Amino acid sequence: METDLRLESSLWIGNKRYRAVLTGWHLKWTEADKKNGDKKTVSVPVAEVVGVENGRVEILPQKSVEDTDKDFTVFYIKRSRSRSTYGLLWSLGRTQFSCPSRVLRDQWTNHLRTALKTHSPLRPHRLLVFINPFGGKKKGREIYHSLVAPLFELAGISSHVIVTERANQARDHLLKKDLTGFDGVVCVGGDGMFSEVLHGLIGRTQQEAGLCETDPAVTLQPCPLHIGIIPAGSTDCVCYATVGVIDPVSSALHIIIGDSQPLDVCSVHHASTLVRYSVSLVGYGFYGDVLAESEKHRWMGPLRYDYSGTVVYLSNRSYAGIVQYLPADPLLSSPKDKTRCLSGCNVCSRSTERLFPHTSDSGSLYSSHFSQYSSDSEGEWVSVEGRFRCVSITCMSSSCARSPLGLSPSAHLADGTGDLILVWDTHPLSFLKFLYRHTSTQDQFDLPFVEVHRVKAVRFSLPDGREEVHEGIGELNRAIGGEEREYVDTVSRNGSQQQLAQSVVERETMNEHKTVAPILCGLCCKKTPAVSVWNCDGEILPFTEIFCRIHGQLVRLYARGIEDGAAMQNCSQESDKNKSRCITYK
Ligand SMILES: Nc1ncnc2c1ncn2[C@@H]1O[C@H](COP(=O)(O)OP(=O)(O)OP(=O)(O)O)[C@@H](O)[C@H]1O
Ligand SMILES: CCCCCCCCCCCCC/C=C/[C@@H](O)[C@H](CO)NC(=O)CCCCC
Ligand SMILES: [Ca+2]
């Protein structure tokens, strides 16, 4: 196959002659009329060729250029380092070649197109695109039509575009409408829009497989359609954590070349119902309260989270709860091992084998670990009880612009586990230190009132077993801020381990901040509501007592994880020597 596709000839770029070679895997060109030592080779993996056009073509911005029938243009992926984030930005590279004859030109374009088909089997041909016109800064439509659609067109992808007119339209469409012929679904919006697509696709897949989503013990069927995210929301956490940058062009290029990144999903249950799915944050306490507060200030746009974060921080709340968790195998990885899940991650690759073994009994649809009533599995559960500033479960790092390394910097995208972060009640300044560390490279887990566990499942209940059902966000906000809620004293705490940690941190912090503390304490509320709410990827859950299970690699995104920016040193300078290194990365 590879030898069939090999093509080698002289080609011209501008007025310079090059020796060009197409092997099965790479297109390479080297300046011909130079001494050996000065020769530079540019090498583009075939898998990263976006498109091949006859003539001299320019898009983004589109221009008509004079050409002949001996010219062709190759579009491919070019990388550069992002100033503000850890990942790499992708843009459209373009080289216009001239051939000695039209016959040779046709040979080059045909060979390249065949190589693309052969080596990129997951490239989509037809996509279903949902645009949320109201997400983030309300630029979804503009972003899609000006930056993404021209790239899809260049790559020969046909798309069916739906601009949503109401919340949950994308989810309902995916649950009910005919999806024949689509290779993937793209959402243009934020994490809320992604969540709609996630729910629609998981629900549809289970319906078609005849599986019951409500039972946490059932092994769910992975979704056959890939999901692409064009970021146009407020937090865009899923995009940030799976691509490494918030950039519509980079995301569009990942979709075009058919990148494939599996992703763990957490199902959240209450009693015998499925409440929701989550990939990023299932958070109680601080993150729940911030979300509930922010819903009142939607008009502020993305800034609502900063404002609400300050308000909630100053209200100084902590909540009583019982957290039970099923630890993951500690020999596989640890949330404190200071590694990062990057593109090509070994921990995730090994998990694929573990999660989908090719043995004949792997078809079992029932996993005894998760049967809530199975006495066999009860022994492995760990239980802690006390007062918490926040309880968070995240299936991935959940990095975003606010927190470039995320809630759990060493979490894996596709290892079949989640990280449970327990922040015990502590002095307000200590909690501020914890929050602040999310914005830097300092370890937020290296604090005596913070615990982190790699888990397969989590159960949360209230100490007195009293469940409250919230009926809607309006009512919920009233309940959180209003008088109807029963109040408890913040100083009552459970658990001796927590009390010890608490007193050490309080002493340290009070010494450090003798002058600031009294001012801050004056601002803080003396009372706290008895219960918080759960924030599930930006949606408030209507229940307090929940059971969560992580489903390994349940969905696939058009992404490849975060590329290691360190491997791209000096690329931003684009010196001739490095230019080819930038292009040949990987
Ligand atoms: N046409 C629409 N009208 C109103 N709401 C919509 C519409 N389309 C989608 N939605 C809802 O809007 C919510 C928020 O959208 P989205 O996630 O795109 O933006 P965001 O909230 O600004 O970003 P993020 O989720 O990243 O913070 C989603 O939960 C989605 O269900
Ligand atoms: C003194 C400085 C303090 C700075 C505090 C920084 C802490 C930042 C941690 C960021 C965690 C983001 C978790 C991601 C959550 C998303 O699934 C969700 C949907 O978009 N976003 C929110 O709920 C929005 C909720 C955002 C909460 C801040
Ligand atoms: Ca994971």
Give me the mean pLDDT over the 276-294 stretch: 97
Give the count of beta carbons closer than 10 Å to the beta carbon of residue 56: 18
Residue 373 clears pLDDT 50, i.e. is over it = no
Beta pairing class for 534-536 and 539-540: antiparallel
Does the Cβ of 236 fall within 6 Å of ligand 1?
yes
Smallest CA-to-CA distance from 397 within 342, 455, 352 is with 342
Mind listing the pLDDT tens digit for each residue in 136-180?
889 999 999 999 999 999 999 999 999 999 999 999 999 999 999
Ligand nearest to the CA of 191: 1
414 Cα to the center of ligand 1, angstroms: 25
pTM over 0.90? The answer is no
Smallest CA-to-CA distance from 487 within 323, 285, 317, 308 is with 317
Where does the pLDDT of residue 468 fall: very low under 50, low under 70, confident under 90, or very high at 90 and above?
low
Return the ∠ at Cα 374 (arms to 371 and 380), rounded to 5°: 90
Q: Quick one: tokens of 322?
A: 């019982």
Residue 386 clears pLDDT 80, i.e. is over it = yes
Give me the mean pLDDT over the 8-14 stretch: 94
Mind listing the pLDDT tens digit for each residue in 504-554?
333 333 333 333 333 344 444 446 679 999 999 999 999 999 999 999 999
Mind listing the pLDDT tens digit for each residue in 47-63?
999 999 999 888 766 66
Measured distance CA(7)–CA(3) in Å, rounded: 9
CATH 2.60.40.3080 given to domain 122-258 = no
Q: Which atom of ligand 2 is nearest to the CA of 432?
A: 1
419 has catalytic annotation? no
Measured distance CA(504)–CA(488) in Å, rounded: 24
105 Cα to the center of ligand 3, angstroms: 47
Measured distance CA(445)–CA(406) in Å, rounded: 12
Across 14-56, the runs of DSSP E, i.e. the strands, are: 16-22, 26-31, 41-45, 49-54
Measured distance CA(339)–CA(332) in Å, rounded: 12
Crossing angle (nearest 10°) for helices 169-176 and 191-209? 20
Residues in the chain: 586
The pocket around ligand 2, CB under 6 angstroms, is made up of: 191, 235, 237, 280-281, 287, 290-291, 305, 309, 398, 400, 402-403, 407, 432, 435-436, 438-439, 535, 537-538
The domain spans of the chain are 2-121+569-584, 122-258, 265-353+374-553
Q: Which atom of ligand 1 is nearest to the CA of 189?
A: 18
From the list 106, 172, 178, 191, the catalytic residue is 191
More confident residue, 524 or 412: 412
Where does the pLDDT of residue 348 fall: very low under 50, low under 70, confident under 90, or very high at 90 and above?
very high
Measured distance CA(495)–CA(294) in Å, rounded: 32
Residue 328 clears pLDDT 50, i.e. is over it = yes
Give me the mean pLDDT over the 229-235 stretch: 94
* pLDDT, position 496: 32
Q: Whose CA is nearest to atom 5 of ligand 2?
A: 435
111 Cα to the center of ligand 2, angstroms: 48
More confident residue, 502 or 401: 401
Where does the pLDDT of residue 370 fall: very low under 50, low under 70, confident under 90, or very high at 90 and above?
low
CATH of domain 265-353+374-553: 2.60.200.40
380 Cα to the center of ligand 1, angstroms: 39
Residue 243 clears pLDDT 80, i.e. is over it = yes
CATH 3.30.70.360 given to domain 2-121+569-584 = no
Mind listing the pLDDT tens digit for each residue in 102-137?
999 999 999 999 999 888 889 999 999 999 999 888
Measured distance CA(36)–CA(21) in Å, rounded: 17
* pLDDT, position 358: 67
Does the Cβ of 164 fall within 6 Å of ligand 1?
yes
Mind listing the pLDDT tens digit for each residue in 251-279?
999 999 999 999 999 999 999 899 999 99
